[in-house]
Every structure is written in C-alpha cells, then in structure tokens.
Chains A and B, each alone.
Chain A
C-alpha cells in the first residue's frame, strides 16, 4: 500500500495546478467583471487571423509526396509510357485498375513508346485507396500519384476514370509535374 502512495505523490511535471474550492467573494459573485473580460476576449477575436480556407478558390499547400489522383505519364517526345503489362492491376490491393491491351499499328509510333499499349485503362476512384502500390509496381515509369485532389460529384459512374482523364497532355502546360513525388520515391528506394 505504501508503495502505491509513493507513486501517487510523485510529481511528474511542474504544470499541475492545485484545485481550489474557495467561495467567490462579492465582486466575483456579480459575474459582471468576468463577463466583461470574456466579452473583451471574444471582441479581440474579431480582428484575428481567420482559419478558413475558401476551398475551391484557395487550396492548402500539399506536400510533394501527397498521394492524390493518378496520372499516366508520357515520355519527352509525348509518347505514352504505359505498355499495358498489368503489373499495376496485379499490385492494386483494392482491385481498382482494369485495362485492355492492344498492339501498336504502323504510323502510331509517335503515340505509344513500345509495341504494346493500353487501349482502355480505367481506375475506379471509389475503389482506389490511394496507397501508391501501382506506381511502385510500374516498370515503365508510366503511372504516378499526384498532388491533385479527387473532385466530388453527384453520380457514382463519373468516378470511373478512363484514359481521357488519366493521361497527361503533350504540351508543356498540360504536363503534370510529379517531381516532388518522384524525388521522394527515389530517395526511399
């Protein structure tokens, strides 16, 4: 028993305060000084910096390693990297990725980097858990997660993203920058 008492009286920090049950004196019983003090505190908050982020217009800065919606990358000449090998779909723990492969025809060399490409590439964004295993599995540097957020929508079928939404553009402005994520990934590997 004595052992327990010793633990109870041990002071762990110097932040503890002695609780008091003293009765209020008559000025305190009026409550008005306390009310005025409280009102001054709330009034001062009117001029303080606001915590609100006006979301669609303003966005919070996101870390470079953030795992947002995917992008299918192109190489420097604007050809799609993806060869539809299916490793991302195999790696995906949520089974969100499906694809159909097709053979590159003559005259399509400027579109696809290798002889085989993904004719259909779909990610179900409602299934996706944004774990990033697809980009780890990808041997062709084709799929990356980005710092973009998944926009909300009313209809569930709009969340199945095809190549029209996933593949980045060819012009410099429509390219998606994944350098923050890539640097981090290479550092860890």
Chain B
C-alpha cells in the first residue's frame, strides 16, 4: 500500500527546500555585494527598495529579459544540458540534509529531512561529482578556448580536492560508525561537536569546500581577469543565471554540510535542558542550523574578499602535496586513536 501521507510530507518539504534554496541563493548575491562593499569601505547596492533589498529581484528579472545567445559553433544540446545539470545537482544535494528535529502533529511525525539515506554521505559525494560534469559539458559545448580552459581547470580542481574531502569525511565516519547524516548530527548532541575532535579534518574539509564551490581563493575556473569568465564565457541570459545560481546554492549547501558534519547541525549546547515541546524544539533547531549556515555563508564571502586567487601550480601543489598527505595522516591518527586508546 502506498503511504500517501509520506508522499505528501515529502512533496511539501521538497517544495519548501527548493524555494528556500533559491531564495537564499538569490539573497546570497545581495549579501555578497553588500559584504564586498563593506569590506572595501563602500555601501553597496542601496537603490532598489530600502537598503537595496529588492536588488536580487531586479537582477533576476534582468536575467530573464536578456537575449539568450547560443554561439554558432556550439553544440546546441550540450549547451543547454551543462547549466541544467549543474543546477540540478546543486539542488539535489539538499535532499539528505537534516534541517531540524521532527515536527509532531498528534501521532503524525513530520520529518525535516527529504531522504534519511543510510549512505547519505556517499550520495552527497556522488551528486557533487556529477555537478562537475555540468561545468565540463558547459565549457566543452561552448566551443570557445577560454570556456574549455575554464572547464579543464574546474574538472582537474574538483578531482584534486574531492580526494582530501573524502578523506576528511572518512575520519568523521570512523568516529560516528555511520554514513547517515542524521546519525552523525545526533552523535554531536550537547557540545560534542566534531570540530573539537577533528580540527585538522575540519580545516581540510573547509579548504576543499571552497575549492569544490569554485570560490575564491580557488576560483580559477571562472577567473575573470585571465579567462574572461571561464566556463560560462559564452553563456547569457538565464543559462548564465543557472550557473551563477547553482554556485550560490552550492555555497549554501556546503555551509549546511559543514554545519552538520562539524558544528553539531541543529544542536546547540543546552538544547535538552530547556524541556521544550517537540514542535517548539523543531523550530528552534531549524533556527540554530540556519544561524550556523548563515555564519558559514558569511565566512565564504569574507574569505573571498580577503584572499587573492591561487596560481594554478600552487593550487595543484596544495591539493596533491599538502592536503592529501595531511588527510591520510588524519585518517591514520583517528583510526589509531579509536583502536588503541578508546
């Protein structure tokens, strides 16, 4: 028998998460411009609406109204597939994130996680890897040397930094004995945040998250000054919008993943001693998770407007010669500690 309640629950949750992801991605562009301005002693957008809060709507509207150009020599099918795949995978990763404690209505439990997968982290890594294809296909289909170079850089960067990222996650999995993201979050209940047990793992994961999101200082695939936009050089209108949107969604999701893996997800110290009703506790837990996510989104932007871009050989050296040995060392130490000390 089909559980219609379950399907209804999931559909409602999926719609909410899509709307929230897109909304946060839109307002991340505003936040980015505002934070960039503040750091550079400027004011930033303040014309559209009070404090410029309608700016993302104006930008989005502009994306829709711009002429949609497809280059003459571009591969028409792949040219459309690239950005579609990129934004699809960006939105798909949010499925495994536990957004908060469950709501309880009578005897009906409304879980705030779309898919409580027991291989949640594997799913995450798999989907993020497919996201790399979006960039590669987009860059290849453009039939433009700068776009191809950008795509080439993106793919090599993603491959290089997925390895230490996976290794950093392995040390977390060793500690939690589970690939399920909700179990990893619940393990950190109280103040047992993984960041205190895995500081090196956190650092590696953070650096790799920057690289996976193509954010500065790892924004080589789209470096404006060298590659005039990199893989999305030939894109215009909403296809370009998809690429830019997907990047901000990726940033939002990686902020959520960092919060879940290392900063206790929706838990905060003393949440259990307050004795709240389940629904109130659920609302508070959502707010706690989003506070952590917003902090990390701010952190991403803060780093972007502080550090200059890596040179390409420096990027590869950091990935292969520093982060991978460090992450292997981290896994070994964690394993030894769990085997012989604990």
Contacts and interface: CB of A to CB of B under 8 A. Distances in A.
Interface of A: 35, 38-39, 41-43, 45-46, 48-52, 54
A54 B51 CA distance: 12
21 contacts: A35-B306, A35-B307, A38-B306, A38-B307, A39-B302, A39-B303, A42-B39, A42-B305, A43-B39, A43-B302, A45-B38, A45-B39, A46-B35, A46-B38, A46-B39, A50-B42, A50-B43, A51-B41, A51-B42, A52-B42, A54-B43
Contacts, number: 33
B303 to A, nearest CB: 7
A43 B38 CA distance: 9
B46 interface: yes
A45 B307 contact: no
By secondary structure, the B interface counts as loop
Q: Top 3 A-B pairs ranked by shortest CB distance?
A: A52-B43, A46-B38, A42-B306
B41 A45 contact: yes
B70 interface: no
B38 to A, nearest CB: 4
Contacts of A43: 39, 302
Contact of A42 (B43, B46, B302): B302
Contacts of B39: 42-43, 45-46
B307 A49 contact: no
A54 B46 contact: yes
B40 interface: yes
Given A49-B41, A50-B41, A50-B43, 16 more contacts: A35-B307, A38-B306, A39-B303, A39-B306, A41-B306, A42-B305, A43-B302, A45-B40, A45-B41, A48-B41, A50-B42, A51-B41, A52-B42, A52-B43, A54-B43, A54-B46
Nearest to A41: B306
B288 to A, nearest CB: 23
Nearest to A45: B39
Interface residues of B, number: 13
A102 to B, nearest CB: 46
Contacts of B35: 46
Contacts of B46: 54
Nearest to A35: B307
Contacts of A52: 42-43
A182 B279 CA distance: 74
A90 to B, nearest CB: 45
Nearest to B44: A52
Interface string B152-191: 0000000000000000000000000000000000000000
B31 to A, nearest CB: 13
Nearest to B38: A46
A39 B305 CA distance: 9
A51 B38 CA distance: 10
A45 B39 CA distance: 5
Contacts of A51: 41-42
A46 B307 CA distance: 16
A52 B38 CA distance: 11
A51 B40 CA distance: 9
Nearest to A40: B306
Contacts of B38: 45-46, 50
Interface string B22-41: 00000000000001001111
Interface in B35-75: 35, 38-43, 46
